[in-house]
Chains A and B, each alone.
Chain A
Amino acid sequence: MRRDARRLLEKLSRKELRYREFEDAFPDTELWPIFEVILRDERVVGEGVANLPDKRAVPPPVEDHVPPPPAPTPLFERYNAAQAAPKVPPTAAPAKGVDLREFFSRLGDAD
């Protein structure tokens, strides 16, 4: 533990720190332009989603005094639906074992 942290704890008669989450002042995620670029990138979201019509204009990053952005659009709702879909769990591999090191060593042997 850093000395300044230890001194602070001593002043507070505490033995350990408690961490606090800093909540966002805005209820919604700010739509930074880079977010918009990602949402429209087929290499990230796939062709079907990337080509969806976007009803939301791309605003510049807002400052703290600007009111929060509008509620999530259908674009985000679609992601939420995709999120709810169950993912395919990793498939179980055959049980018979082999030593990894031996395997890689064999692969790496010179010709």
Chain B
Amino acid sequence: MTLVLMQSPKGGVGTSFLTAQLALHLAARGHDVSALDFTYQDALKLYLGFVPAQEVPDLADSTADALVASGVSLIQGFNVSRRSVFRQRLSRGLDIPFDQSRISIIDISAHDRELLDLLTPYCALHICTLMPDAGSLAVLHRVGGDAPVMSLEKTVFVLNKVDGRQRLSRHSQGFLRDLLGDQLIASVRRDEAVNEALARFESIAKYAPSSAILPDLVEFALAVEARLGLSSDTIGADAAATGGR
């Protein structure tokens, strides 16, 4: 498996949304993808087109069938992650034989730094979502833990809700581009249609097929794919009709 961690020290920046979109786009490009929700909010399912009442199979129950949305297997891992034995065993540094053929994307809460640290040794990539605002910039130093942010080899950034009409948003995007260089792999523009689509339990591609963020999301997925070394011209083009059941 190829493990991708989605975690930001700043909550409310759209990490769950981007987790779902990344999973959907990679699945649309022919990859075998699982999305694991390790957050208390249990909101990842909404971005995959499921209603709040939908039960998501628990990671601890290996016999239950996964919930599948557009080729993405959705699993709830929050309960398992709360168990002390789970964290203890992860901290021991188990020798896991990874299989590159499957991509598992884990959505981790902003506050759960401990889980991020425990899973990082096993991951191929940690994607940190930021917004181009003061709130995200103020917590940038928290991304690296003990190491400087710019020295993190597994960590990349995606800028979400970029609004070119807003001065600070514009300047922050330019600043972060200069500061992070190749570590900033994608920018996704702000579009209220994301919120509206969510309220309808529809995919953004279906609800707003002309949304400016659709190509941004494709670029994001392609950048991740490249970082993972999984780019292939033979894989079918991204249908862009990603999202929803």
Contacts and interface: CB of A to CB of B under 8 A. Distances in A.
A65 interface: no
Interface string A38-76: 110111111101000000000000000000000000001
Contacts of B104: 100
Interface residues of A, number: 54
A102 B151 contact: no
B98 A94 contact: yes
Interface string B173-192: 01100111111000001000
B54 interface: no
B233 interface: no
Name the prevailing secondary structure of the A interface residues. loop
Interface of B: 1-3, 34, 36, 59-62, 66, 75, 77, 79-81, 83, 85-86, 89-90, 94, 96-102, 104, 124-125, 134, 137-138, 140-142, 144, 148-151, 153-154, 164-165, 167-168, 170-172, 174-175, 178-183, 189, 193, 196, 207-210, 212, 227-229
B178 A98 contact: no
A98 B1 contact: yes
A34 B227 CA distance: 30
Interface string A71-98: 0000010011011100111111111111
Contact of A107 (B34, B90, B144): B90
Contact of B102 (A23, A39, A100): A100
Contacts of B89: 107
